[in-house]
Structure 1
C-alpha cells in the first residue's frame, strides 16, 4: 500500500530559502500544544556568513480594519519563539517526515522544531458580515523563516511565510463531567414570594450542529403571573488582557414561548436548540474557528480550554465559552428571572 503524504512548501520571493511543513493545523490540548516541526532548505551561496531563523508571528486584531482612522490600528503583532536553524545551534531529533525531506532536499536542508506561546489563545476569527470589507477581529498565526545577520534583521525578499492554525481539542475528562444543572430562586420588589427555576442539560459537551435538549421546571410562588419563557444559546467572548469584566454576548438561536403561569402554579418544559453558526448579518458578530481556506464553511469557535498553569488575566487573545440562558418574563415593572447553564462546545479532531 502506498501512503500519500501532503507537504506544504513556501519559498521566499527571491527563492533563496524554502520552508516545508507536513501540516498547518496544530492541536491545543490545554496542557500543551503540538510543536511545529518542519524543514528549511537554503542556498549557502546566498546565506554565506549570515544566519537562518524560524519564528512564530502572532497577529491579534482587536477591532475591524474598516473602523481604523487617523493612523490608529486595531492590530498587535508579536514575533515570538525564535529559533536559529542555520548554522545549527541545538541538536534536533528529527521525525521520520523530517528525515525523509532532508534526504530528498540535500545537504543544505535543516530540521527545526518550535513551540506555540503558552499564553496565547487558539485561532479564532469574527464571522464575515455582508457589509464587511477589511480584516476583522481575530487571532492568527504565521510561521516565518528568514535570513539575517541577527534575529531582528528581517528582509521581505528573503523571508518565507506560511499561515498555521492553533485548534482546540476538548480534553476527555470534560466528557466525563456531570451534566450541567442549575437552579435559581429570585424575589422581586413589586410582588411577594419567589420564582424558582431549575434547568439541566443531558451532557456537558456538545458539537456544532448538534441538538441541545434543555429540561426546565418553573415554580411560580410569587403573587404575579409569568407571561413568557425565553430560551437561547449564547456565545460569550472576552479579551482578558483588556478587561476581565467586559463580555461580548451574541445569541446563536432562541425560542420565545408565551405562557400563562399563575401564582402557585408549576410548569415543566423541554426545549431543543441546535448549536450552529447563524446566517450572515450586516456585520459579523459571532466568533468562528479560523478557516484554512476562505471558501471553507463557517464553523463556530469551540470553547476555549485554558491551560491550568496560566492565569486567566494573562491570556493574550480571545476567550470563548457558551451558555444556555433560560429567562422567565413577568412583564413591565416586575422584571425577569434569568438562569445560565454553561456547556462546552467541542470539535472532533
Structure 2
C-alpha cells in the first residue's frame, strides 16, 4: 500500500514566490470549513521591502468558457474577493482567521495592482459536505387519481422510514391503497429513479409509482338451450360503410 501524498506546487513567473498546497478540495459541512493549508517560500534578497499577501478569490461561472472568446467584451462569470491577509511579515495586530493562502503576491500595499510576474494563483474548490441529521419523522407521498367516466377515486400512499438513503442501502417501502372507485388495480409497478450530478451540482432522488387500471371482468352465465325457440339472436347495426360493403359481397355470392 502506497503512503505517498500529492502536494500541489506553483511558481510565479519570476520564481520569487513558490506556493505549496496540501489539497485543493476544501469541504464545508455547514458548520466548519476546512482550512487551506500550505507553505509559501520567498526570496528575501529579491523581494527587498515588499510584503507578502494572501487573497481568497471566488469565481462563479454561469456559462461556457468558450463563450468569453466568441463574444468579445461579454463575460459569463463573476468574481469577488473573500479576504486579503498579510502573511509575511506577520501582522501581529490582525486577528487570525480560518482562511489561508490562495493567491499570493508581492506588493508594498494590499491595494496595489497585482502583476502576473509577482503573483501565484492556485485554484481550489469548496465542496459542501452536509451530513443529514437523524429524523424520526417518516416520509410520505400521496397520489390521488380521479376518473372521468367512473365514480370514486384511487388513493395510494407511499411511506418511507426516512427521506435520505445511501448507495447500496435497502429501501423499505410501505404502500397503502384505498380504492373507492369501481375499477380494480391489477398490477402495480414501482420504480426508483436516481439522478446524480457530479461536480458543483446537487443531487436529487425522485420516486414514481405508475399504476395500470383495468375494468372488472364480469362472469358470464352459460345457459344451455333445450330447444331452438330458447335461442335469442340480437341484431346490431353496423357502420354505414361497412354495411354497404357487406351488402355488395352478399349480392356477388348470390349471382354466382
TM-score > 0.5, shorter chain as reference:
yes
Q: Which residue in the other structure is 2:80 paired with?
A: 78
Q: Residue 3 and residue 72 in structure 1: after superposition, are their counterparts in 2 closer, same or farther (change >3 A)?
A: closer
CA-atom RMSD in angstroms: 3.9
- Are 2:90 and 1:88 aligned? yes
Aligned counterparts of 2:72 and 2:114: Cα–Cα separation in 1: 28
Q: Residue 170 and residue 269 in structure 1: after superposition, are their counterparts in 2 closer, same or farther (change >3 A)?
A: farther
Q: Which residue in the other structure is 1:144 paired with?
A: 103
Aligned counterparts of 1:196 and 1:58: Cα–Cα separation in 2: 49
**Contact 1:38-1:113 within 8 A present in 2 as well:** no
Aligned counterparts of 2:4 and 2:15: Cα–Cα separation in 1: 26
**Contact 1:219-1:264 within 8 A present in 2 as well:** no
Q: Give 1:129-278 correspondences, 5 Å limit.
A: 143-152=102-111, 153-171=113-131, 173-174=133-134, 176-185=135-144, 193-201=152-160, 203-207=162-166, 216-221=175-180, 263-266=182-185, 269=188, 271-273=190-192, 275=194, 277=196
**Which 5+ residue runs of structure 1 have no aligned equivalent?**
95-111, 116-141, 223-262, 278-286, 291-300, 302-319, 331-349
Give the CA deviation at 1:15: 1.1
The 3-state SS of whatever aligns with 1:36 is coil
Aligned counterparts of 2:144 and 2:59: Cα–Cα separation in 1: 45
Give the CA deviation at 1:89: 0.9
**Contact 1:63-1:75 within 8 A present in 2 as well:** yes
Give the CA deviation at 1:220: 4.8
Give the CA deviation at 1:188: 7.5
Deviations 1:200-256 (A, max 9, x none): 34543234577767655554545xxxxxxxxxxxxxxxxxxxxxxxxxxxxxxxxxx
Aligned counterparts of 2:93 and 2:133: Cα–Cα separation in 1: 35
- Higher strand proportion: 1
- Are 2:74 and 1:55 aligned? no
Q: Residue 221 and residue 3 in structure 1: after superposition, are their counterparts in 2 closer, same or farther (change >3 A)?
A: same
Greater relative contact order structure (CA < 8 Å, 6+ sep): 1
Aligned counterparts of 1:62 and 1:211: Cα–Cα separation in 2: 37
**Contact 1:193-1:221 within 8 A present in 2 as well:** yes
Give the CA deviation at 1:27: 1.7
Give the CA deviation at 1:85: 0.6
Q: Residue 47 and residue 154 in structure 1: after superposition, are their counterparts in 2 closer, same or farther (change >3 A)?
A: same
